Amino acid sequence: MSGFKSDFLWGGAVAAHQLEGGWKEGGKGPSVADVMTAGAHGVAREITDGVLPGKNYPNHEAIDFYHRYKDDIKLFAEMGFKCFRTSIAWTRLFPKGDELEPNEAGLKFYDDLFDECLKYGIEPVITLSHFEMPYHLVKEYGGWRNRKVIEFFVRFAKVAFSRYQHKVKYWMTFNEINNQANFHEDFAPFTNSGIKYEEGEDREPIMYQAAHYELVASALAVKAAREINPSLHIGCMIAMCPIYPLTCAPDDMMMAMNAMHRRYWFTDVHVRGKYPQHLLNYFARRGFALDITPEDKAVLTQGCVDYIGFSYYMSFATKATADNPQLDYDETTSLVSNPYVKKSDWGWQIDPVGLRYSLNWFWDHYQLPLFIVENGFGAIDVRESDGSVNDQYRIDYLSAHIAEMKKAVVEDGVDLMGYTPWGCIDLVSAGTGEMKKRYGFIYVDKDNEGNGTLERSRKKSFAWYQKVISSNGESL
């Protein structure tokens, strides 16, 4: 092959809670994203007990896409997008999460949004659960600690598939389901699974239990989608940060392999429908007694995904240490800085070659079509007095990554469906809640304190990406 397929899905990616705002509009209920305050690099977002007065909740208004989506999609069309990845806010369809009937106003919003995309020939690519589960399910059920949440999620998924089956072909179940491998910090357990740990709780088995229920829910959703309409394509979504050994010392290599096991077993279950033996042995060694029933195991085999969606921003590195004879990976303590790569202002290691490596790693393991559904450079942009934003650093980051992605396709033969850079329009950062960590081709006039006109303007990268798409990745 000389380049990308002729129907390659170039586009951009966002998530409902990070751009829509309108957090109470059309009967929407509060989600986990609505109870998280703004943080900063090195300052965690506070997870409050409900929405408290006097706190800054950046997702409540976000960039007001809820009211401005028509203008924004027009700009995406101008860039030449073939697809647009967003999520359905679960709380627009099921404000509390445990209702039996969906909320029509919420359903109507996404009908209109998808119609607006299709008007320009832009294919919607939809994530069902992107860090925005109903907060009511956290309060009443303990989030994904509770098996009962499977039923609520599957109801939501079935409603979405049935309603939008003729508008949306590409779906993903859980965004970055493997972030929760980082269970010592509060962010990933809460955003992935609606879990707030009590003081002194043994966090790790609770994480595995929640992930298991999510994987069962995902498999049931895949099964349901096939029954509703066999032409739907359902993928998983994995946060890919490949973990390198710091050195070629054999123990460092083994440490890196174990780390990959511990962070990417989720993909094995999604793709192969069963747990890898190394993880079952680990559960036994650690004495984790999980609720995994024979019925669950059967369901997992029946709901294997059609493709692997993944995000790629950075690579990690790890090394063996004397105090860790089993070479167990702990995401909070086992990572080290890679001396061969640079870092973003938020400490994310910049490694374009790691994207080629990741594509090959997924392809070697699973031989399923791959879809890069997030990649991007969070940076502080400066708007000049004439309104322009000269984000050459973003162009440099993206073009270097696309060049490596091309090698993976052309030289290595990886089957790649598409590429949707993250935050194609500036939006609220998931990790920090900041506006100033920007990813967009489109600038949004709003700052961390919530000031600004919300006016949109094209950055330098806008015209650059337009050319990338029109040349099908030849002009970088």
Name the site residues for ligand P53 (rule: CB under 6 A): 15, 18, 131, 175-176, 239, 311, 313, 374, 378, 422, 429-432, 437
Closest listed residue to residue 173, CA positions, set 110, 64, 92, 88 = 88
Q: Residue 248: phi, psi to the nearest 5?
A: -90, 15
- CA distances to 158, 259, 263, 335, 351 from 320, in Å: 45, 11, 17, 10, 22
**Nearest C-alpha neighbor of 308 from the set 220, 373, 236:** 236
Per the CB < 8 A criterion, the answer to whether 84 and 113 are in contact is no
Active-site positions?
A: 374
Distance CA 146, CA 144 (A): 5
The position carrying tokens 């179940």 is: 173
